[in-house]
Structure 1
Amino acid sequence: MKKMGFRHIYSKINLNFTRNFKYFYSSLEKYDIANLLKEPQIGNEVIMKGWIANVRKQKQHIFLDLNDGSTSDRLQVIVPSSLDCNIKDLLPGSSVRMMGFLTLSPKGNVEVFAKDLKVLSKCSTEEGYPFAPRKQYSPEYLRQYFHLRSKTRKFSSLLRVRSAAAFAFHSAFKDEGFTNVHTPILTSNDCEGAGEAFKVVPDNENLLKQMAKPKIPSDEIFFDRKSYLTVSGQLHLEAIANGLGKVYTFGPTFRAENSKSRLHLAEFYMIEAEIPFLQEIKPLLKTVEGLIKKVTSHLLENNLADIHTCQELQKNELEWINKEFPILTYDEALKIIADCSSEFQEPVDLQNGIKKEHELFLVKYLGNIPTFIIDWPKDDKPFYMKEKSDDNTKVSAFDLLAPGVGEIVGGSLREDDLVKLSEKIPDNANLNWYLDLRKYGGVPTGGFGLGFERFLQAILKIENIKDTIPFPRWPHNCSM
């Protein structure tokens, strides 16, 4: 491609500035920066819209770095100082619409030479705009401005990777023959049975009085029973899987935990799947491993620039996509922890099971490769997990541990023995319908739940889960 400076191109274009700009704008092709930079047609006239990331003023020209959210790259716009465009309003953060033509800088970078520019909204920097050009801000600082942090380069890259990952998961499930199901957000079941559900009650006293019934508590009036925000769509997926085959859901879930840790949120997104006619756990592990590798590979192939903007990765940090995930039994994991007890700051108490620091150590011990832990103690897991045929103290369950994060996926075979399940279901669980699944042509199933934000933490090396979601919620914080 022959390089031509903007002055050379500008001299060849005879633009009639008295033409009808309304018609002119409507007749030009509109671009976003990402697509424009892929196949730039030097000399073409284009329309661009976006926000000013930085301004550099010289005597004859003003240089703007333009951002439109489509990429982490900035597009340089050359604005003649003589152009009538409210130059004083060309400030970092201001939104603009411009028309110009593509050119190349002396270094061969794509630029736009502006022939018309309008400031759509001035950024009031004198009123405390919190972000300065070219300055890096800590995640803690950015969390003060949930409504503005998408304007920053790093967080906008995170949101693009998050979007790409969501579509990649949907695509991967489709390729494997799964059907997407919308499980309810309002439910009468606490799937995990841990008492960590948010109760749902109408915030309208007049409505509750109108619907009141004798001897019915106020928190049961609307639905005639207690209702909660879902902690998992698993039980509903089991119902659908018994008529539809392989199914999955992808949506928000809620946990009322008093935790402000770097790995917990009160509202987060779960990818959950259920597979019928499943009697062994190995195929389930294979499904999870293949899914994670496929999505991660897709992101590395298509979103590498944004990934590096989120966090500079070392060359070998995601090489595990080409390696087989190790599988340890729970007892094998405990033995490794006991044998390496000197590696831990606090004394190892194996009676309390595997803690977060143990999870992180196990992954590092095995080469920083995501690692499956299988065959968990029955008393440590929910009622619906299937007992192992050769050891009734254990269940056919697994956790997948990832580098830097620990558990990102949990799953199991589901108990299909009607008698055993009847004995384990909590008395007040209101799950007669769940038993019906075993009575009416039910088949063995297995499934898993993947924490979407923890997956992003693992592949992007994001320390705090609050920085993987646009509007995080945690105890004492539900702003906006």
Structure 2
Amino acid sequence: MFQAAAKSVSAASASAASRGILSSVRRYCDKTPTKLRVSEALSAAELGARVKVQGWVRSVRPQKANLFLHVNDGSSLQSLQIVAGSELDDPSLTFGSAVEVTGTLKKSPQQKQPVELEADQIHVVGRCNPLDFPFKIKERHGLEYIRQFPHLRCRTNAFSSLLRVRSEATTAIHSYFKENGFLQIHTPIITSNDCEGAGELFQVEPSGPEHEEDERFFSVPAFLTVSGQLHLEVMSGAFSGVYTFGPTFRAENSQSRRHLAEFYMVEAEVSFTQSLEDLTKVIEDMFRSATEHVLAHCAEDVDLFHKHVTPGHRETVDAMVKKRFPVITYSEAIDILNRSSQKFVFPTDWGCDLQTEHEKHLVKHCGNIPVFVTDYPYDLKPFYARDNSDHPEHTAAAVDLLVPGVGELCGGSLREERLDLLRARLEEAGLEDTYSWYMDLRRFGSVPHGGFGLGFERYLQCILGVDNIKDVIPFPRFSHSCLL
């Protein structure tokens, strides 16, 4: 009896001890700060909570009794104000340093910011010498200056905004295709095809002592892709709509503001179509959908560019979103150019390729909004472009989208699905053996189809008004430059 009682008391004591431990754990957990991104803290959803924020110092203002910091972690253009006692000041707490701040999130007395973090702990995670740091606390650096520091320019407001816009635009484009029934295809980076036929290719060969110089890794010459189009055409034989979004490469010896050696392309292929209107509808809808998404989800970041980098450009963007894109033929474009009072450097005869100066003039002529140009001379287009045999002039069923500030943004065409015409074009170019597989696509269940490719960096230039394409990609590659 006494033993049973003792056991009961012992069990009760153990249970009480267990509850005490759990209570201590709960009290400890209650004091554990919630880790928030700066954008989350600024939403004021956690007012009164003990939180932890990690980021980089954008400004430091020590006073006699208090210390004021602005900390940013890349999640928002706006920084979070940190208020701390002067005892938390630290010589290593400088502009550019990485910090971890813990404290209580409170409503700010200032109207310009919704909340501030009253800090009780500030830990410097990574030091930064402000004298050596190329960006200065009170200076607004231009895009051309920060381009010299590709490893550091993401720390600036302008470039961090650009990267957020770029990320959101990527999401918007994928969403558009998914919502419209397109299947994403991962087309290869290494290929044996020269889709454009211009010969601007980077050849791929392994290096190292285990590889002999005269020995090929692949059985045929291999190159970095200039386009995923031909691989998408393969897939269009089984799916009604496919797209790809990835890096492409051109060995162009150019230092222009519109060209890169490595850039991103949005490419799509539509099956069962015999009309350029089907392609222009997808192009225009995708452009408008992506732009509206970016304007809605990156308002502050876009405003930074439209106010400080390209003042007045917002009106152009609003017009591009609201107005339908006009369509003119190549012949009409040549007529517009020849009737213009502007003197062009390059000729404007029928049959010549449109140059950037021509493209920009056509855009202005059409109201400074994007314009489609269709039915180019057949000889200007690659072998896969469909022959407009019913036209009095020998043209191809091809289309380009020209946009303000950039010129050509997008190019596409109906593909030649007629085997006899395709074979004749390939034989004329001496490519019938190389593209025998391509002719097979026309022999086994071929359907009329067409597609396009859109330069993603040029799209960003267009909506932000950025003059140089090197300023809208994280790590630009161009002739004589491959930093990092």
Q: Does TM, normalized by the shorter one, top 0.5?
A: yes
Distance 1:365 1:162 in 2: 29
Distance 2:171 2:409 in 1: 19
> Which of 412, 427, 430 is the equivalent residue of 1:427?
430
Unaligned runs of 5+ in 1: 1-18, 210-216
1:365 is aligned to 2:365:
yes
User: What is the aligned partner in structure 2 of residue 256 from structure 1?
Assistant: 251
Distance 2:246 2:444 in 1: 28
Once the two structures are superposed, what CA deviation does each residue of 1:380-428 show, in whole Å capped at 9, x if it has no partner? Answer: 1111000113126100000000100011110000001111111212324
User: What is the aligned partner in structure 2 of residue 213 from structure 1?
Assistant: none
User: What is the aligned partner in structure 1 of residue 103 from structure 2?
Assistant: 100
Once the two structures are superposed, what CA deviation does each residue of 1:66-106 show, in whole Å capped at 9, x if it has no partner? Answer: 111001101111121123x6x10110000000111122333
The TM-score, its normalising length taken from structure 2, stands at: 0.89
Name the amino acid aligned to 1:419: D
User: Which secondary structure does the structure 2 equivalent of 1:88 belong to?
Assistant: coil
Once the two structures are superposed, what CA deviation does each residue of 1:176-205 show, in whole Å capped at 9, x if it has no partner? Answer: 100000000000011111000100011124
Is the Cα contact below 8 Å between 1:25 and 1:47 reproduced in 2?
no
User: What is the aligned partner in structure 1 of residue 324 from structure 2?
Assistant: 324
User: What is the aligned partner in structure 2 of residue 144 from structure 1?
Assistant: 148
Is the Cα contact below 8 Å between 1:255 and 1:266 reproduced in 2?
yes
Name the amino acid aligned to 1:359: E
User: Which secondary structure does the structure 2 equivalent of 1:184 belong to?
Assistant: coil
> Which of 460, 465, 470 is the equivalent residue of 1:466?
470
Distance 2:481 2:66 in 1: 46
Distance 1:156 1:478 in 2: 21
User: What is the aligned partner in structure 1 of residue 412 from structure 2?
Assistant: 411
> Which of 41, 53, 58 is the equivalent residue of 1:53?
58
Task: Trace 1:98-137 onto structure 2 (pairs within 5 A).
Answer: 98-108=101-111, 109=113, 110-126=115-131, 128-137=132-141
Larger radius of gyration, structure 1 or 2? 2
User: Which secondary structure does the structure 2 equivalent of 1:424 belong to?
Assistant: helix
Once the two structures are superposed, what CA deviation does each residue of 1:120-165 show, in whole Å capped at 9, x if it has no partner? Answer: 0110234x21011131112221111101000000000000000000
Q: How far is the alpha carbon of 1:479 from its aligned partner?
A: 1.1
Unaligned runs of 5+ in 2: 1-23
User: What is the aligned partner in structure 2 of residue 16 from structure 1?
Assistant: none
Q: How far is the alpha carbon of 1:347 from its aligned partner?
A: 7.1
> Which of 288, 297, 300 is the equivalent residue of 2:283?
288
Is the Cα contact below 8 Å between 1:202 and 1:208 reproduced in 2?
no
Q: How far is the alpha carbon of 1:346 from its aligned partner?
A: 3.9
User: What is the aligned partner in structure 2 of residue 335 from structure 1?
Assistant: 335
Q: How far is the alpha carbon of 1:345 from its aligned partner?
A: 5.5
Distance 2:462 2:475 in 1: 19
Is the Cα contact below 8 Å between 2:316 and 2:369 reproduced in 1?
no
User: Which secondary structure does the structure 2 equivalent of 1:350 belong to?
Assistant: coil
1:43 is aligned to 2:48:
yes
% identity of equivalent residues? 45
Q: How far is the alpha carbon of 1:348 from its aligned partner?
A: 4.7
> Which of 291, 294, 299 is the equivalent residue of 1:304?
299
Name the amino acid aligned to 2:398: A
Name the amino acid aligned to 2:342: E
Task: Trace 1:167-206 onto structure 2 (pairs within 5 A).
Answer: 167-206=171-210
1:385 is aligned to 2:385:
yes
User: What is the aligned partner in structure 1 of residue 239 from structure 2?
Assistant: 244
Task: Trace 1:83-98 onto structure 2 (pairs within 5 A).
Answer: 83=88, 87-98=90-101
User: Which secondary structure does the structure 1 equivalent of 2:83 belong to?
Assistant: strand
Is the Cα contact below 8 Å between 2:266 and 2:454 reproduced in 1?
yes
Distance 2:346 2:106 in 1: 65
Q: How far is the alpha carbon of 1:311 from its aligned partner?
A: 3.3
Output the aligned Cα RMSD.
1.9
Once the two structures are superposed, what CA deviation does each residue of 1:42-66 show, in whole Å capped at 9, x if it has no partner? Answer: 3222110000011111111111111
Distance 2:464 2:229 in 1: 27
Q: How far is the alpha carbon of 1:23 from its aligned partner?
A: 5.6
My pick for the range that moved more, 200-209 or 362-371, is 200-209
Is the Cα contact below 8 Å between 1:338 and 1:348 reproduced in 2?
no
Following TM superposition, the consecutive aligned residue runs of length 4 or more in structure 1 with deviations greater than 6 angstroms are none
User: What is the aligned partner in structure 2 of residue 63 from structure 1?
Assistant: 68
Is the Cα contact below 8 Å between 2:400 and 2:408 reproduced in 1?
yes
Distance 2:482 2:266 in 1: 23
Distance 1:158 1:92 in 2: 21
Q: How far is the alpha carbon of 1:28 from its aligned partner?
A: 2.1
Distance 1:154 1:472 in 2: 16
User: What is the aligned partner in structure 1 of residue 264 from structure 2?
Assistant: 269
Is the Cα contact below 8 Å between 1:311 and 1:462 reproduced in 2?
no
Q: How far is the alpha carbon of 1:290 from its aligned partner?
A: 0.5
Name the amino acid aligned to 2:188: P
